[in-house]
Structure 1
Amino acid sequence: MKKSLLTLIALIAVVAAGGWWFTRPKPISVRVHRVETGRVEATLANTRAGSIESCQRTKLSTIAGGRIEYLGVKEGDRVEAGQVLMRLWRDDLSARAQVAEAQLASAKSRANEACTVADNAEREASRQEALAAKGFVSSSRAESARTEAKARRTACSSAQKDIVTAERQVAAARADLSRTVITAPFAGTVAKIVGEVGEYSTPSPPGVPTPPAIDLIDDTCLYVKAPMDELDAPKIKTGQAVRIRLDAYPNRVFAGHVRRVAPFVTALEKQARTVDVEVDFDTPDEAKGLLVGYSADVEVLLEARDDVLRIPTAALQEGNRVLVIPADGRLKAQQVKPGLANWEWTEVREGLSAGSRIVLSLEKEGVKPGAYVVEESAAGGK
């Protein structure tokens, strides 16, 4: 009887064990990270895409309006400082300038004549005064000669002033001519031209934006301008190291540094308030060939620590908790004390040790404290 009871109990135990085995929860396959030491940086990134800018860029228009008579460049052309890029029809102004130059030449001729006569009159007055002193001529004649010399000298002075007036008229005529010409203020590349030969070019009146005739950029000197959130701006200082990434070159990272933080906040409708930060390339030669207007992202390095315990930032849950995998495979929530952090890594000051296993697959259903899990690589090997 006793033996039969023991057999029955053993049979029940086997059935129960088999029932647990076949009904046990299936372990969840998760990605696992083993905690280790490494470098952690505190960084800031721009809120909206920045862009490559030129150190010099100017949008040129003629001061006066008129029909385009000469267009000496095409879009993409390299130009030198002082090179004539565009000229309007100006035959009327050229004629006026020629008249002014002729008047200047005439004024100089008259002044030369008047001053020559004045010099001769002064010599004659001196001669008459010498003769009067010796009694060869009357004193009245000497006085008359001196008066004549003064009058001639006054005429000479007036004629010289007429030269100044004529020079001013020539300068004004040339200024009018310059209003019809666009010259390059610096060496650069023509980015855009609005207008063709024979078309009418109109300068932009006050308060009315008009496309410039020529957009000129200096692509030998480039920098990055990026908008930073106004809350982050106080942490950014000139000279801080920066990493620059461009959509056009996804596999390259350019080193740079902050050269300027705007002293004002930019407020755009329906967008966050930002502060523009300007960044220089540490190696300007690396920026050669980049196009003005490329979108760019800036990551400002605030602080860095080497050889600290770190975990992927994505593994950190609300309340600074992570899911740790103990030896029995049952997930356990562990509170940690974070330090420096960025979008990739977070420093762990307390709560974990090197070699601890934490879960990265937080998005999987059922991944929570108490769940039974296995590492993906281990699950694949079974």
Structure 2
Amino acid sequence: MKKTVIYAYTHLLILSFFFVGCQPKSETASPTYKDLTEAVYASGNVFPKNEYKVVANADGYLQQQAVNEGDVVKSNQLLFLLESLSQDARAEAAANIYRQAEANYADGSPILAELEAALRNALTKLENDSVNYFRYKALYDQNAAAKADVERVELAYRTAKNDVSARRKALARTKSQLYVDLQNTRSNYRVNAREGDNYRIRSFEPARVYEVYKKVGELVRKGEAIALLGNPDDVYLQLAVDETDFSKLKEGQDIVIKMDAYGDKVFKAKVTKIYPKLNKVDQSFRVDADFVGERPSAYYGLTVEANIIISQNPKALTIPKTYLVGNDSVWIEEGKEKKKVKIQKGVENFELVQIKGGLTEKSVLVKE
């Protein structure tokens, strides 16, 4: 019985020494010189440049859809057609009136032909009455005709002369009125044609159709968007930067971009615009950037993660960030003792902190 107890005790003692001997020493490290880049994290999306929405300029039902998502369109290309029965009727009536006005003023116009014929008849009668008048006047001067006959033919001559003058004025007045009517009907026709264009939705410039909001048969109200379009050949980045990092930004800074859609592929960009208004919803500022070199295909809204390069130091004395105690201290080993010292930090990233004071390359860092 005693042997068993002694054996058991001895066994436990051996195990105790084993575990004590196997306890790991405190993890240590020393400051080293490394290439240290300070960057600000940003997230955002890729958007096409010059994006715009086409909207309806009149109420109507979508009658025809000439394009679909993904199509590339030219400038002033017909995209959608709205039903416009009342407008079509007005446009047709205006066109008919305009054509009639053109016919009334054109050469061979029935209205002008009738007035011109009446003028010619009046001129013929004037010529006859003129001959009669001067013949009777000559006979009267020779005492071969009665004064009453001369007065009668003179009255006919003067009446014919006045009739010609009146018919010439009527012809000129009618021509002038027909010209005014033609201009007015032409203006009315053009106005109706422009109003008809309100029912034909066209592109402003070459673009890709990214989204169509309406389907054929649906009612579209005036001012309502029908589709979203954008430049198919150029894209830019729209990023959100946290309020705490905003003061570090400036235009022209380099950016490194990654997108889920492109796996591990890295794109480069530069900051082009910094917006001064804070988005109170997520406490961020908007930053725009243009790609440098290779750019992704113009797909709308691709999600991106970005690092905006604030500074680069090719030879910075650094320590792993995991050795920091609080915000400005570390533990170091001096002889067989641990000592807590304050440091002067420089730039930092997710892994490293630059040491500007408080440590040397020979310092031995230990964790708590």
State the TM-score, normalized to the length of structure 1: 0.69
Partners in 1 of 2:21 and 2:339 — Cα distance?
17
Of the candidates 23, 44, 58, which is equivalent to residue 40 of structure 2?
Answer: 44
Partners in 1 of 2:87 and 2:222 — Cα distance?
21
Aligned twin of 1:334: 341
Deviations 1:228-259, CA, capped at 9 Å, x for gaps: 23443343222222222223334233211111
Aligned twin of 1:371: none
Aligned twin of 1:276: 286
Residues 256 and 143 from structure 1, CA distance in 2 versus in 1: closer, same or farther, beyond 3 angstroms? farther
Corresponding residue SS for 1:161: helix
**2:112–2:171: 8 Å Cα contact kept in structure 1?**
yes
Deviations 1:243-288, CA, capped at 9 Å, x for gaps: 22223334233211111112422222xx32x2211111112xx223
- Gap runs ≥5 in structure 2: 1-13, 135-153
**1:115–1:153: 8 Å Cα contact kept in structure 2?**
no
Aligned twin of 1:82: 76
* 1:88 positional shift: 2.2
Residues 250 and 350 from structure 1, CA distance in 2 versus in 1: closer, same or farther, beyond 3 angstroms? farther
**2:48–2:298: 8 Å Cα contact kept in structure 1?**
no
Partners in 2 of 1:76 and 1:99 — Cα distance?
39
Of the candidates 303, 310, 327, which is equivalent to residue 302 of structure 1?
Answer: 310
Deviations 1:189-219, CA, capped at 9 Å, x for gaps: 322333433x2232266xxxx6x43232333
Q: For 1:367-378, what aligned pairs fall within 5 Å after superposition?
A: 367-368=367-368
Aligned twin of 1:347: 354
Number of aligned residues? 319
Aligned twin of 2:178: 159
Partners in 1 of 2:227 and 2:25 — Cα distance?
62
Aligned twin of 1:5: none
* 1:26 positional shift: 6.0
Aligned twin of 1:223: 236
Segment drifting more, 217-226 vs 233-242: 233-242
Partners in 2 of 1:299 and 1:23 — Cα distance?
46
Corresponding residue SS for 1:175: helix
Q: For 1:210-289, what aligned pairs fall within 5 Å after superposition?
A: 212-268=225-281, 271-272=282-283, 274-283=284-293, 286-289=294-297
Corresponding residue SS for 1:353: coil
Residues 234 and 159 from structure 1, CA distance in 2 versus in 1: closer, same or farther, beyond 3 angstroms? farther
Which amino acid in 1 is paired with 2:259?
L
Deviations 1:168-207, CA, capped at 9 Å, x for gaps: 212222223222222222333322333433x2232266xx
* 1:99 positional shift: 2.3
**1:52–1:225: 8 Å Cα contact kept in structure 2?**
yes
Partners in 1 of 2:201 and 2:362 — Cα distance?
69
**1:65–1:200: 8 Å Cα contact kept in structure 2?**
no
1:293 aligns with 2:301: yes
Aligned twin of 1:313: 321
* 1:225 positional shift: 0.8
Larger Cα Rg: Structure 1 or Structure 2?
2
Partners in 1 of 2:222 and 2:340 — Cα distance?
66
* 1:91 positional shift: 4.3
Deviations 1:63-93, CA, capped at 9 Å, x for gaps: 3333332222233223222222221223443
**1:201–1:213: 8 Å Cα contact kept in structure 2?**
no
**1:220–1:288: 8 Å Cα contact kept in structure 2?**
no
**2:46–2:301: 8 Å Cα contact kept in structure 1?**
yes
Corresponding residue SS for 1:97: helix
- Gap runs ≥5 in structure 1: 1-17, 360-366, 369-382
Residues 228 and 319 from structure 1, CA distance in 2 versus in 1: closer, same or farther, beyond 3 angstroms? closer
Partners in 1 of 2:26 and 2:181 — Cα distance?
96
Corresponding residue SS for 1:287: coil
Q: For 1:49-198, what aligned pairs fall within 5 Å after superposition?
A: 49-112=43-106, 113=109, 152-197=171-216
**2:210–2:300: 8 Å Cα contact kept in structure 1?**
no
RMSD of Structure 2 on Structure 1 (CA): 3.8
Segment drifting more, 218-227 vs 299-308: 299-308
* 1:157 positional shift: 3.5
Partners in 1 of 2:68 and 2:255 — Cα distance?
36
**2:62–2:218: 8 Å Cα contact kept in structure 1?**
yes
**2:64–2:82: 8 Å Cα contact kept in structure 1?**
yes
Residues 318 and 282 from structure 1, CA distance in 2 versus in 1: closer, same or farther, beyond 3 angstroms? same
Partners in 1 of 2:158 and 2:253 — Cα distance?
90
More helix by share: 2
* 1:346 positional shift: 2.1
**2:235–2:290: 8 Å Cα contact kept in structure 1?**
yes
